[in-house]
């Protein structure tokens, strides 16, 4: 039987593709991969180990229980701390950024934005969840990291990726030279190259959106949904609707099969739901590298200006032709909510 290439071997082989060729990005990816294996174990055993439950409660052994997303956050931060390459972590689980203060990190140059366990409410019902991460380089050479070094545009990402804890566990990443996917072989405890050079089909037949909020959607989104549902043999419509409610899982399926995922602005949530720094930007980088498009309905996600750590953005992400069609609809039917820049979007008054 042929021996599969491990993530570690692949990273060494691709070292020359990485920016700042000193092995630093490789080490960061390795550290994230280590934490992913630990989190994978906990996710798999979640129902068995009594690890589920609210933070602060006690399990049957009288031990303090941790919600799995808090556990995942701790694992990723401590792996990054031990690795010594990361100086700042921006995490969905922490209101403020986390400064990594340790002897080996004193010259660290990288900022990691992470959602340690996205879609964690799905764990209670045994549905796939994910980790999403993004790596930036600090701008100043040393000393205190300024907030504008932390709030960089998605175009500044050096690497991004996700881990999907599903029927199998996969780590998918890009450093701007295509997208590669690795499946965890639990018998040897290694991520092995299983999906080299991932490409998203130019179009697809899956649209993915929470239609329960239909009445709150902008007119452009309503019109796009109608378009997806209309019969048309030439474009293989009607499309099929698939919504897991777990961002990583929905986007991962669409990368493989082709499709569009939309979480738009709604009357209740004018900025959308998903977070720019550690949900939208990392997956937008992956999607673009796989040949797809990621937009807020009007603008490229990667060019949005970040103004705060936990800022949200509407997102239309997936197969090129499908996202372009949805953008056309937004332009024609919802021009009034055009997000010219996120700074303006902050105060925009949305009339769907």
Binding site for ligand AHM (CB under 6 A): 92, 118-120, 210, 245-247, 263, 273
| By CB under 5 A, residue 250 contacts Mg ion | no
Residue 243 Cα distances to 6, 240, 273, 282, 348, angstroms: 32, 10, 15, 20, 28
Q: How far is the CB of 91 from ligand AHM (least distance, A)?
A: 11
Q: Which stretch binds Mg ion (CB under 5 A): 115-123, 151-159, 230-238, 299-307?
A: 115-123
List the single partner that 273 binds among ligand AHM, Mg ion, none, CB under 5 to 8 Å by kind: ligand AHM
Nearest-approach distance from CB 245 to ligand AHM, in angstroms: 5
Query: Do 231 and 237 touch, CB atoms closer than 8 A?
Result: yes
Helix (H, G, I), strand (E, B) or coil at 294: strand
Residue 288 binds to Mg ion (criterion: CB under 5 A): no
Q: Which is nearer to ligand AHM, 95 or 232 (CB)?
A: 95
Instruction: Look at residue 246 and give the partner it binds from Mg ion, ligand AHM, none, a contact being a CB closer than 5 to 8 Å depending on partner kind.
Output: ligand AHM
Task: State the alpha helices, DSSP H only, in the chain.
Answer: 7-13, 24-44, 46-49, 68-83, 147-150, 219-229, 247-257, 281-289, 320-333, 342-345
User: Which CB atom, from 30 or from 216, has the smaller least distance to ligand AHM?
Assistant: 216
CA end-to-end span of the chain: 57
Q: Does the N-terminal peptide bond of residue 140 adopt cis geometry, omega within 30 degrees of 0?
A: no
Backbone angles phi, psi at 106, to 5 degrees: -65, -20
The one segment of 117-125, 198-206, 257-265, 337-345 that binds Mg ion by CB under 5 A: 117-125
What minimum distance in Å lies between the beta carbon of 66 and ligand AHM? 16
* Residue 115 within binding range of Mg ion, rule CB under 5 A: yes
């Amino acid at each position: 039987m042929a021996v599969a290439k491990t993530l570690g071997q692949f990273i060494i082989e691709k070292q020359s593709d990485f920016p700042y060729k000193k092995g630093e990005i490789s080490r960061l990816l390795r550290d994230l991969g280590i934490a992913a294996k630990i989190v994978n174990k906990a996710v798999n055993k979640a129902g068995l180990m009594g690890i589920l439950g609210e933070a602060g409660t006690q399990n049957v052994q009288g031990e303090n229980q941790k919600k799995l997303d808090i556990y995942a956050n701790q694992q990723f931060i401590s792996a990054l701390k031990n690795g010594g390459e990361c100086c700042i972590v921006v995490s969905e689980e922490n209101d403020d950024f986390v400064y990594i203060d340790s002897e080996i990190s004193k010259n660290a140059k990288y900022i990691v934005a992470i959602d340690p366990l996205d879609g964690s409410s799905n764990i209670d019902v045994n549905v796939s969840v994910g980790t999403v991460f993004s790596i930036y380089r600090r701008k100043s050479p040393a000393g205190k990291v300024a907030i504008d070094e932390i709030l960089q545009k998605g175009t500044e990402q050096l690497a991004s990726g996700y881990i999907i804890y599903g029927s199998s566990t996969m780590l998918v990443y890009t450093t701007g030279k295509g997208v590669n996917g690795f499946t965890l072989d639990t018998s040897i405890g290694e991520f092995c190259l299983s999906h080299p050079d991932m490409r998203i089909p130019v179009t697809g037949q899956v649209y993915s959106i929470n239609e329960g909020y239909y009445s709150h959607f902008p007119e452009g989104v309503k019109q796009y949904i109608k378009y997806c549902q209309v019969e048309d043999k030439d474009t293989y419509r009607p499309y099929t609707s698939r919504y897991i409610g777990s961002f990583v899982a929905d986007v991962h399926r669409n990368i493989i099969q082709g499709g569009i995922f939309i979480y738009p602005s709604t009357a209740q949530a004018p900025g959308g739901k998903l977070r720019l720094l550690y949900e939208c930007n990392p997956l937008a980088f992956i999607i673009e590298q796989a040949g797809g498009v990621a937009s807020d309905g009007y603008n490229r996600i990667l060019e949005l200006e970040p103004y705060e750590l936990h800022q949200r953005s509407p997102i239309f992400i997936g197969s090129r032709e499908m996202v372009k069609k949805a953008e056309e609809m937004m332009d024609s039917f919802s021009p009034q909510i055009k997000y010219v820049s996120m700074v303006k979007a902050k105060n925009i008054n949305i009339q769907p």
